[in-house]
A and B are shown apart, each in its own frame.
Chain A
């Protein structure tokens, strides 16, 4: 096959060896791997927190956790899963595959890319160090409603760690989004027009814009919160005329688009996997792509549906109910297009396909409960109850996590050069599907039976014991499934069958290079002529999907210490800020040291750019 160009070789840039290779890398693929592995570790930590929650709620009036511990655990579960698990797994896949799918050699800003990763890791460490140094983890929920977050009601330093951890994670996401957008706009292979881009690239593009528009709102919110907690301001403190409702608007103006930030990349990978395993093109490419854009735009007009219970008034209730229901239209379009993609296909039930089909089946349940939550009066009954917990887990677990596990099976061969075990993979899928439904379906009933969210316990006479027990059993099935995945991952990494370049008989450019790809991704330049360049070359005739430009000289920036040094400076800065108000004599020197470290990093960075024009 002429697309196999592994025999051609260009001299790679100077590489460091061992762990230094990872510390200094600016290769989007290594960074993508670090993102995904780190995010998976946080997923496991968040999952263990979930098990603690389920253990405590497994029966009424349990005392496995104290209320204080429970409140910390559920706060960290939400925060971890949203900011440190799902978002960075998405970022990891985007990092690895957006450049490959558009035929690029790297991200637009390789060093900034490394910085984004390090800030994720450091942000997570800041947040979790609150258990050790903060006198307790954050305990006001991932939504952190004022004035519960004030020093009067949240007496540990936990919320300060939460704010500073989120700031680092926010910078990480913002830089990552800019990077993805510029990469997509600037580095597409010749002929890779926007309407030829793989749908995962489309969704990454939309997601990145959502992040850029949504993040400032929470950044402002947490900055004001930090001032309230440390410097005596009263933005959210009602006793001094501040407004706690302001926090809710700032939070949800970010928080609702955040839902789409988590789910759109999942829509993207499913839109890649379903066609490949149906051996057909996606049905209605334009509808799928543009409905993603529509969801992104509409996503900014619905935030107050999280606030129906705050007495917004009839006009606001009506508007936000209508806008929220409108989102069901582009979402419904996507589901129908996915189903039509299967129709008259030749379906191959490999593990990624099982997860994609599971995704559709589960996500639609979350979609249905979502539309009903948009009906404001019904929301007044079930909001802040376990019905909502069930709803968003069907969206974010049944939706995003299923799709991302599918993506892991789909792309593992490309990343490692080895196949994952299909047999173990199928066990993983079926145990997860069972455990997931057992955990979350009963929570719909609990919500309808009046069980509020975020309660550390409940009484026996409430009649909630049975469904809670089912849910707890289910959560351990999920844990077992995750364990099966880890086993599969380790075994396959060691003994997996060789993958070859294109194990799934796929359509997009990442499968046109070796597995794993060389540092510079492609030895030649592809000139793209269709939406499915690889497929069309295989099935429509050589040169129909893409042609090759052999006169191609990839350029990669050398490894760099600058990103990690700079990020480390910001990491130290967070601890300086933590002490600034409470112990300025400690805080100010730490801040000065932190700024010096960051300056050293920046200085190096600028110097490297001067020698090497890649940013």
Chain B
């Protein structure tokens, strides 16, 4: 290939590939966890800031790359014996291009500070319209407590991996971890916040209004590396209209809809899980009181279907390798009959208000 420069040889396939990627991306896969579709006041404020950053970035990018490309074309060596004028610098010009980035930085800072102010301080109007939520990180699942909503025994309502909130209310989230550092992130509703074992961190957000009977589902995920199954520490946030949320929370604060524990449950599950209204009171794993209505199994690992639940109970390690349930349930721990019995029971724990099967 003596006459073909690598630049030219690579140009066409690259262009084809890039064009192809744009076309394909335009066809559009659904990205349920995107940051680019803000649905709360704080994520919209962040999104507006990122638009400013993006366009300033485009300007700087174009200036530098244009300057670079023009130089490359214009000052390509024509005569190898030629020594160009030896310019050592120009203080005025250099002071100018010290000041210009400084001004850009100041502009960015002003908008950044404004956004920090907007997303960090909860507005005064939040008083009286606030729902408190406590997030507890576990390797590798999420526990959610509602200090304002009491269950039948007067304790705060507890759920796992699926957080329901009312739209239009200020959600005041406090979080802590029982083991390592996790990070609470629902890109559509709020930026990240680390969930730490020895302190309480917090954030707040207010989800945009949704209509009655049309709750919105947001995907979230642990964003701080937390060990083996960091990838499968996911959650769903359901934004319901205030009326729907009221209905949901009333149902959730009841005891389980089926309080007759099958024998296999008593034998294998009650040490680690709570089913309210029964003697199952272990706290190592997620609360299962209303498990049947949840969207996913094992913190977003698989959708909550009978088949997935069967596979999970058959061999949890095959579904989510290394999770803590594998210390109790191995591939040969439960018989087929026991698994079926457990699936029947767990799927029966659905009080009614649920978005299971959506998205």
Contact = CB atoms under 8 A, between A and B. Distances in A.
B89 A381 contact: no
A374 B112 CA distance: 9
A218 to B, nearest CB: 18
B98 A462 contact: no
A431 B9 CA distance: 10
Interface in B86-107: 86-91, 93-94, 97-98, 100-102, 104-105
A140 B180 CA distance: 11
A326 B85 contact: no
B194 A450 contact: no
A13 B286 CA distance: 73
A178 B286 CA distance: 55
B31 A464 contact: yes
Interface string B66-78: 0110011001111
B113 to A, nearest CB: 6
B5 A66 contact: no
A284 B91 CA distance: 8
B229 interface: yes
B229 A148 contact: no
A279 interface: yes
A328 B102 CA distance: 8
A380 B101 contact: no
B68 A147 contact: no
A461 B102 CA distance: 43
Given A67-B321, A141-B225, A450-B35, A378 B192 contact: no
A230 interface: no
Contacts of A145: 180-181, 224-225
Given A328-B105, A450-B33, A454-B230, A377 B46 contact: yes
B197 A244 contact: yes
A383 B35 CA distance: 12
Contact of B229 (A67, A348, A365, A374): A67
Highest count of chain A CB atoms <10 Å: which of B72, B83, B180, B183: B180
Nearest to B59: A368
Nearest to B107: A325
A450 B84 contact: no
B77 A284 contact: no
A245 B196 contact: yes
Contacts of A360: 64, 68
Interface residues of B, number: 102
Nearest to B186: A450
A287 B116 contact: no
Interface string A441-472: 01001001111111111100111111100100
B201 interface: yes
B322 A449 contact: no
Specify which of B108, B139, B226 lies most central, judged by the most chain A CB atoms within 10 Å of its CB.
B108
Interface in B217-253: 219, 221-231
Contact of B24 (A332, A369, A454, A466): A466
B276 interface: no
Interface residues of A, number: 105
A321 B31 contact: no
B194 to A, nearest CB: 5
A311 interface: yes
A462 B65 contact: no
Interface stretch (A339-347, A404-412, A552-560): A339-347
A310 B75 contact: no
A456 B139 CA distance: 15
Interface stretch (A37-45, A196-204, A422-430, A604-612): A422-430
Interface in A268-327: 278-281, 283-287, 309-311, 314, 317-318, 321-322, 325-326
A175 interface: no
A455 B116 contact: no
Given A317-B116, A463-B29, A343 B6 contact: no
A369 B57 contact: yes
Contacts of A328: 101, 104-105
Interface string A364-376: 1100110110111
Given A66-B321, A449-B31, A453-B225, A380 B197 contact: no
B193 interface: yes
A339 B78 CA distance: 19
Contacts of B31: 449-450, 462-464
A158 to B, nearest CB: 13
- 3 smallest A-B Cβ distances: which pairs? A380-B191, A450-B33, A238-B198
Given A309-B192, A326-B105, 13 more contacts: A148-B226, A239-B197, A279-B83, A285-B88, A286-B89, A332-B97, A340-B89, A364-B64, A375-B112, A434-B14, A448-B34, A455-B231, A462-B31
18 contacts: A71-B227, A148-B181, A279-B84, A283-B90, A329-B105, A333-B101, A336-B94, A346-B80, A348-B80, A364-B61, A365-B61, A368-B60, A375-B50, A380-B119, A430-B6, A449-B35, A466-B21, A466-B24
